Amino acid sequence: MTDSGRTDSREHYFTAHPATPDERRPLDVTLAGRRVTVEVAGGIFSPGGLDKGTAVLLDEVPDPPPSGRFLDLGCGWGPIALTLGLLSEHADVTGVDVNERSVDLTSRNAAALGLDHVRAVTPDAVDDGTAYDLIWSNPPIRIGKAALHDLLRTWLRRLAPDGTAYLVVQKNLGSDSLQRWIESDLRMPCARFATSKGFRVLEVKAT
């Protein structure tokens, strides 16, 4: 998480309707090797730019397949969902976030980039039977262990057969204990896929 996002992140994690003024502003950023302009605002995760964890995730994970059903869990203004959409034009990409401002920003950013196969919704808008071939996420570690476990228990179990999830977690915020919990509680294979800049990328396989 960048310093510019620290004030807003706690509100983002817990609030569907942030109290911070909804002042939109443009942000130039590189996604999938392309320089693009997106819209950001306060009251969401990392409004100042691409946070360090997400940058590590996008740098380290393998390219997604050209098609399939993909999920960005905790989409913020959309860097992961937009990257998936830019790399896989035949995929069905969904960004999910409890923060309705984040959902609106990701939707607007996808539309501005012509990514009509990328949508953003709140969790209650996702059908319980939906399964995903690929999940990329910088999960909200700071919501607390119990809430984080509930979140991952819900969404990782929506991996399709042969599906894979990649999660980026700071080492000093419990990446290794989270890996052990996924293996012991969810009984899903979880490996350290990469380590970079104080973060681990965990690879979780469907069972």
Residue 17's pLDDT is 77
Task: Report how far Cα 130 is from the mean position of its chain's Cα atoms.
Answer: 17
3-state SS string for 119-161:
EEECHHHCCCCCCEEEEEECCCHHHCHHHHHHHHHHHHCCEEE
Position of tokens 């899903």?
Answer: 188
3-state secondary structure of 164: strand
What are the structure tokens assigned to 17, written together? 């309707």
Beta bridge partners of 136: 72, 166
CB contact at 8 A, 69 and 131:
yes
pLDDT tens-digit profile of 98-128? Answer: 999 999 999 999 999 999 999 999 999 999 9
**Helix, strand, coil % in the chain, rounded to nearest 5:** 35, 30, 35
Strands 132-137, 118-121: pairing is unpaired
Tell me phi and psi for residue 206, to 5 degrees.
-65, 150
Q: Is the pLDDT at 8 greater than 60, yes or no?
A: no
pLDDT digits (tens, 9 = 90+) for 150-161: 999 999 999 999
Count of Cβ atoms closer than 10 Å to residue 17 Cβ: 10
Contacts of 14 (CB under 8 A, 6+ apart): 143
d(CA 79, CA 97): 13
* Contact criterion met (CB below 8 Å) for 63 and 70: no
Contact call for residues 106 and 45 (beta carbons, < 8 A): no
pLDDT digits (tens, 9 = 90+) for 44-83: 999 999 999 999 999 999 999 999 999 999 999 999 999 9
Report which residue type is found at 184: S
Residue among 37, 136, 152 nearest 88 (CA): 136
pTM: 0.92
Report residue 154 as tokens. Answer: 């819900």
Which residues on adjacent β-strands are paired with residue 86?
none
